[in-house]
Amino acid sequence: MKKLLILLFCLLPVFAHAGEAQDLAKDPVLEKRMIGLAEKLRCLVCQNESLASSHAELAEDLRREVRELMQKGMSDQEIMDYLVARYGDFVLYQPPVKSYTMLLWFGPFALLLVAGLGLVVQLRKRRETVPEAELTPEAHQRAAALLNEEDKS
């Protein structure tokens, strides 16, 4: 009796199935395309997670939405525009170049330029301020003596 029960329990997983994987099986090509696009999109409720990797409920809904839009024949760009119209540029991991993202895109280069110019100016200035050291005759003699000493040894 006990063995039969154990056997029955062992058979239980046969009836188990993963609901979420179904869509993947239906159309693997579309699913791959969806994941590819979802990796470029940000999950709204979780900080710094892509739509592809998030398990949040909203992310699942949005993946479903993306999947359905793809089935309708929309291009990746159209789907991105669709989501931007609803959630704003925040959903894009790569922010578009706009007037208010200029600082974000070009700020680092501007900083590099400023730092580079600063360095050049600083180096020039130093060259001017450090005069060629002029040796007194005594120092010359000492230097020569030291050099000679080295030659001997």
58 binds another protein (CB under 8 A): yes
69 binds another protein (CB under 8 A): no
Q: Select the residue interacting with another protein from 45, 120, 135, 145 (CB under 8 A).
A: 45
Taken in order 46, 52, 53, 55, the sign of the CA dihedral is positive
Q: In the 8-state DSSP scheme, what is residue 40? A: T
Stretch that binds another protein, among 58-66, 99-107, 109-117, 120-128 (CB under 8 A): 58-66
Q: Select the residue interacting with another protein from 23, 27, 65, 76 (CB under 8 A).
A: 65
Stretch that binds another protein, among 28-36, 79-87, 98-106, 142-150 (CB under 8 A): 79-87
Q: Which of 87, 86, 89, 93 is nearest to 37 (CA)?
A: 93
Q: Which residues of 58-78 are buried (b: 16+ CB within 10 A; e: fewer)?
A: ebeebbeebbebbeeeeeeee
Grouping H, G, I as helix, E, B as strand and the rest as coil, residue 74 is coil
CB of 91 to another protein, least distance (A): 8
93 binds another protein (CB under 8 A): no
Question: Are 36 and 50 in contact, with CB atoms under 8 Å apart?
Answer: no
Footprint of another protein (CB under 8 A)? 44-45, 47, 57-58, 61-62, 65, 84-90
